[in-house]
A and B are shown apart, each in its own frame.
Chain A
Amino acid sequence: MTDAEDKTAALLSKLWVKIQPIVEERLATLDKAAAAEGILAEDLRKEAESSAHKLAGSLGMYGYDEGTRVARELEVLLGEVKPDAARLSALVTELRAAVFPAA
C-alpha cells in the first residue's frame, strides 16, 4: 500500500465508525416505511426515499458495494406512488444484513 492509500484507508475506517449513528438513523427511517405495510404516508415515503438515496451514494465509499446496490433498489421502489410492501420489507432486511452482517 502507498502512503496515500494507507492514509485514506485509515480515514475511511475512522469515518465509518463516526457515521454509524447516521447510517442507523437512515435504516430506522427505512424500517418505519417497511412497517407501514402498504399504508405509507407521503411524507414518510419521501423521507425514506431520501434516506435510501443517501445510503446508495455513500455505502460503497466505505466498501459496502452490496449496500449501495440494495439501497439503489430501495430508492427506485420508494420513488413509486405505492411501493410494494412485501418487496420494501425484504429489501430493508437485505440492506441491514449487507451493512451490519453480524447484527
Chain B
Amino acid sequence: MVTKTYEEINKRIRDGDAVVVTAEEFVDIVRKRGAEKAAKEVDVVTTGTFGAMCSSGAFLNFGHADPPIKLGGGEIYLNDVPAYAGLAAVDTYIGATAISTTKGIEYGGGHVIEDLVRGKEIALKGTGYGTDCYPRREIETTLTIKDLNQAILVSPRNVYQRYVAATNSKNETIYTYMGTLLPDYGNVNFSGAGVLSPLHKDSNYETIGIGTRIFIGGAQGYIIGPGTQHAPTKAMGTAMVLGDLKKMDPKYVRGCTIHRYGTSLYLGIGIPIPLINDRVTKTAALGEDQIKTNLVDYGVARRDRPILREVTYEELRSGAIEINGKEVPTSPLSSFKVAREIAAKLKKLIEKGEFLLNRPAELLPRGTVFKPLKQVTEVPITKEIMTKPVITGLPYEPISRAAKIFAERNFDHLPIADKNGKLLGIVTSWDVAIATGTKKKKLSEIMTKKVIVANEDEPVDVVARRLLQHGISGLPVTNTKGEVVGIVTTEDISKLVGRRKK
C-alpha cells in the first residue's frame, strides 16, 4: 500500500518536486502502468468542472451612507435584481437565480455577480424603514466591486458529484433546468465533468472537507462544509464553498439564462486530490467508461421521475446514445473544455508552488440522506377529481349525436373513442357549431385528432398547467393503455381551490 502525508506532499510542492497530473492524464497513467506504480509516482491529481450552479451567491458589504440607512428589513436591488435584505444595515446576499424586475430571466443574480467580477458599474437601489440611528429611508447610487468592503462568494451548494442525464418522452418540447428537451426522446442533455468531476475523483471523501483549498472562479478558496442536498450514498455529493469575488476571473464566473427556466451562474471549480492512500488512487483513476449516471425522463413532472437506464459519461460524451433502438443526440450543459482548462491551471499552480494543499478539519459526511419535502397536504391526483364515467362518441356516429349530448347535458367536450374505449380524438361544441352548413356528417370528420390528454395518475397541478399552456378548458383522461376513463375541466379544478384551503 502506498501512503503519503499532506506534509510530505506539501514539502515536495514547496521544493518544486511534486508530481501533479490532471485526472484525465491520471486515468491513462494507471491504465498503462498500473495503480501501484502510478500512486508511487504521482502526488496530486487535479480536477475541474464548469457548469451552471444555481445555488450560488455572494455576500456583499456596501459600507455606510451619510446620513446612514438600514437596508436590513428594507429592500435592496442591484441592477434591478432583488438581493436579500434580512441581514445587518449594509450587508446583503445576492443569489444567482434572483431575476430582474425589469428584464425578467434575461438578467439575474448570476449576471450581477459576473458584472461585479468584470469591474462593471452596478446600480444599487435600496430602502429602509428609518430608525433613530439609521434615519435615511432611500438610497440610489452606483458601485463597482472596488467600492465594496467585501464581496465573498459563498455558495450553499456547488460542485455536484454527478448529474442525471435528461430526456423527454412527451410529444411536446419542454424547457427545464436541464435545458431544452425535444419531444419523443429527441435529445439528451447531461451535466457534470465526468472524468474530471471533483467529488467523483475522491468519492469516499477522504481528502475533501472543511478547509480543503480549492480553485474557485480563478481564485483560491475553500470548501466550508458539505453542501445542501449532499447525498453521498447516491454518489450525489455536494460542497459548500467560499471564495473572494475580488480575486476572481470573469472567464470562470458567468451569469446565464436557461431558456424559459431562469437565471443561474456558470462557475469554474477545481479541487486537488492528494493521493494519500490506495483507495483515493483507485477513485481518482476512474475513467468515463466507469462513471455512470441515470438517464431520466423529464417528461414526467414528478419528484421521482422514471429512470430509463444507466448510461456512462463515455456514452454521453460521444455525441449520441441509443434510446429504444434510435440514435439520440446528446448535449453537455457543462463545458468539458473549460473543465480541462481548470484542471490544467490548477496543476500549473501546484507545480509552481503557488497552491498548497490543506488537510481538512473535518471530512464531508459519507452517510447523510437527502430527504424529500415533508408535505402536510397531499396533492390531489387527476383520477380523484375527474368526471367519470365519461360519455364518448364513436367516430362513425353522426355529428347530431354530439350536438344532442352538448344540449342535454351542458357539456362542451366529447371524446371520440373506438369500440374498445381507446381515445381517437375530441369534438367540442365549437367544432359542432362551425360544422353546421357544411357537408360534414360524421364525428370523425370534425374531431381534433391530436388530443392533449391527462393521465389518470398525474397530479392535478401538472394538468392545470397543461390546460393553461394550451389555452383549453378541458381534456380527456386516459389510463396507461390509452383508454378514456374520464374528463377533467377547468371547472373541476376550480372546485379544488375551496377544498384545499380548508
Do A and B pair up? The answer is no
- List the interface of chain A (C-beta within 8 A of B): none
